Amino acid sequence: MKIHYQILVLSLVLFCISCNVKESKLEEKQEKEQKDFPFLIPAEKPNRPLSAAVTRGYDTYGTMRPEQNELYTQFKYTKLKGFDYNGGDGTISRRDPSKVIFENGKYYVWYTHRKSPVPVGMANAKEATDVIPSADWDLADIYYATSEDGFTWEEQGVAVPRPPKPQPGWRSVTTTDILKWKGKYYLYFQAFMEASGLRGDFCPVSVAWANSPDGPWTHTGKLVIPNGAEGTWDQYQIHDPYPLIHDGNIYIYYKAGFDKREEFTPSKVLMQGLAIAEDPLGPFTKHPLNPLINSGHETTLFPFKEGVAAIIQRNGHEHNTIQYAKDWVNFEVASHVELLPLAAGPYVPDAFTDTKDGRGITWGISHFIKEGPDKTKNNLSILTRFDCDLSLDLNDPGMKEHYTLYGSELHYKQGLNKTQKQRIKEANDKLLNKSKKVKK
Ligand code: AAL
């Protein structure tokens, strides 16, 4: 009996050893056969040497295919119905929409509204008067509109007008965004106290509150997010205040332009920072790591999973990207996108729910600037609708294309300027003269 038992144990051990040998031989064979990257992309990052590009596919984008990336999208645009622009002569302008919210059975959006003579331009700010604006957003008020479908809008009129001088915003109240907090509504906005262009585009942020999205709004006159101390990145401007709720606090992302150097175009670098408060009226504490986003012209963010995502359009190394910060502070590029909405105000259903499972966005309102008869001048902006699939709840393959062609017209519009043509001519002439000399 004892001998039988020993034989049994021995044969079991031998069996296991042979199994292991077989397994490692199989792996060796597979490894030899699989020297090249497999035709079918492994779902998990394979345990083998990988190039930096393939590693990015797994680590940065989470997938090798953009169409599987929840933070990749195309943007589709639709003209809005319901807004009158006085024939597009530059005397009525609407721009910089807030995010869209759904209340009382309809969508609401707030925006910069200017009704005035055509602006003289920031460069001619000295010619601006009490009735003639410098910039497209000078001498503006905050208006709002409602809609049942997001395509046709009804302008409801002024929400926050310019207060009398010398209150913050007396010159212009612009570029607003909405917060809903404990049953009350708050509009944050840029409060100009001088014509934009006189020294730059200088302003702090002020706030108004109301018990209903239809108002009436009480302008607190407070500078809730003041400019930074002299010599710091946000000393002159706090632009595009964009509130969300996270961890029981109000998170306001904002943009500032700095490092102004005339030898570069654009002369300033634009980056985005964060200010946090427990109460909508402050005090707001700026994040010690500011700036947090190194690119982008306006702020557009939305809760996504446990973190926050940002649409980064125009300006900077990382323009044309969607970025993600799991901790709401450290942003990483999540995708590269094209034809991005300018100054987008998306419909963000979970902006104020303090969610740990942000669902993303599918549409919003943005603007087009320089829409007047003279497209070189920034004196008329129009609101537009954009649609996209940056949502965990939508799977629209039509929004996930990444091989779009835009046709010759759009490319030729980006033509060479006079100086560039001259430079090329001079280089050609030099070459021709040289070759003529050689021939002689
Ligand atoms: C926009 C925004 C701010 C600026 C101006 C109006 O793109 O960044 O709002 O002040 O331009």
Are 130 and 233 in the same domain?
A: yes
Are 256 and 374 in the same domain?
A: yes
Please tell me the distance between residue 354's alpha carbon and the centre of ligand 1 in angstroms. 27
Work out the end-to-end distance of the chain between its first and last CA atoms, rounded to an integer number of angstroms. 109
Output 101-106 pairs: Cβ under 8 A, ≥24 positions apart: 101/178, 101/180, 101/213, 101/347, 101/348, 101/351, 102/347, 102/349, 103/180, 103/213, 104/213, 104/214, 105/148, 106/146, 106/147, 106/148
**Quick one: pLDDT band at residue 27, thresholds 50, 70, 90?**
low
Are 143 and 229 in the same domain?
A: yes
Can you tell me the distance from the alpha carbon of 256 to that of 206, in angstroms, rounded to the nearest whole number? 15
pTM of the model: 0.91
Can you tell me the distance from the alpha carbon of 177 to that of 189, in angstroms, rounded to the nearest whole number? 7
Q: Which of 202, 242, 298, 342 to mutate to test the pocket of ligand 1 (most atoms within 8 A of CB)?
A: 298
pLDDT of 205 > 60? The answer is yes
Can you tell me the distance from the alpha carbon of 281 to that of 274, in angstroms, rounded to the nearest whole number? 15
- Per-residue pLDDT tens digits for 386-440: 999 999 999 999 999 999 999 999 999 999 999 999 999 999 999 999 999 887 7
Are 37 and 86 in the same domain?
A: no
Residue 440 domain flag: no
Counting from 1 in the atom list of ligand 1, the atom nearest the Cα of 342 is: 7
pLDDT of 279 > 90? The answer is yes
Please tell me the distance between residue 423's alpha carbon and the centre of ligand 1 in angstroms. 34
Q: Which of 240, 253, 268, 382 to mutate to test the pocket of ligand 1 (most atoms within 8 A of CB)?
A: 240
**Quick one: pLDDT band at residue 29, thresholds 50, 70, 90?**
low
Are 63 and 83 in the same domain?
A: no
Q: Give φ, ψ of 276 to 5 degrees.
A: -125, 140
Mean pLDDT of 212-220: 98
Residue 435 domain flag: no
pLDDT of 268 > 80? The answer is yes
- Per-residue pLDDT tens digits for 140-178: 999 999 999 999 999 999 999 999 999 999 999 999 999
Peptide bond into 166 cis (omega under 30): yes
Residue 112 domain flag: yes
Length of the chain equals 440
| Beta carbons of 343 and 297 less than 8 angstroms apart | yes
137 lines ligand 1 (CB under 6 A): yes
Residue 200 domain flag: yes
Are 117 and 206 in the same domain?
A: yes
Are 288 and 390 in the same domain?
A: yes
Residue 410 domain flag: no
**Quick one: pLDDT band at residue 137, thresholds 50, 70, 90?**
very high
96 lines ligand 1 (CB under 6 A): yes
Domain count, the chain: 2
Token pair in block for residue 2: 């004892």
Residue 414 domain flag: no
Q: Whose CA is nearest to atom 5 of ligand 1?
A: 137
**Quick one: pLDDT band at residue 49, thresholds 50, 70, 90?**
very high
Token pair in block for residue 422: 């001259």
Residue 407 domain flag: no
Peptide bond into 38 cis (omega under 30): no
Can you tell me the distance from the alpha carbon of 98 to that of 354, in angstroms, rounded to the nearest whole number? 19
Closest C-alpha to 248, from 130, 356, 321, 382: 356
Are 250 and 374 in the same domain?
A: yes
Q: Kindly report the average pLDDT of the chain as a whole number.
A: 94
Are 90 and 236 in the same domain?
A: yes
pLDDT of 21 > 80? The answer is no
Q: Which of 382, 399, 416 is the last residue of a domain?
A: 399
Peptide bond into 46 cis (omega under 30): no
- Per-residue pLDDT tens digits for 55-92: 999 999 999 999 999 999 999 999 999 999 999 999 99
Q: Which of 174, 237, 255 to mutate to test the pocket of ligand 1 (most atoms within 8 A of CB)?
A: 174
Residue 413 domain flag: no
Task: Tell me the CA distances in angstroms from 306 to 56, 63, 73, 325, 422, one per residue in order.
Answer: 22, 19, 20, 9, 53
Q: Give φ, ψ of 384 to 5 degrees.
A: -140, 165
Are 222 and 245 in the same domain?
A: yes
**Quick one: pLDDT band at residue 289, thresholds 50, 70, 90?**
very high
Please tell me the distance between residue 239's alpha carbon and the centre of ligand 1 in angstroms. 6
Please tell me the distance between residue 52's alpha carbon and the centre of ligand 1 in angstroms. 38
Are 244 and 315 in the same domain?
A: yes
* Residue 200, domain CATH: 2.115.10.20
239 lines ligand 1 (CB under 6 A): yes
Mean pLDDT of 292-308: 98
Which residue range forms the structural domain that includes residue 26?
2-68
| Beta carbons of 318 and 294 less than 8 angstroms apart | yes
175 lines ligand 1 (CB under 6 A): yes
Are 200 and 346 in the same domain?
A: yes
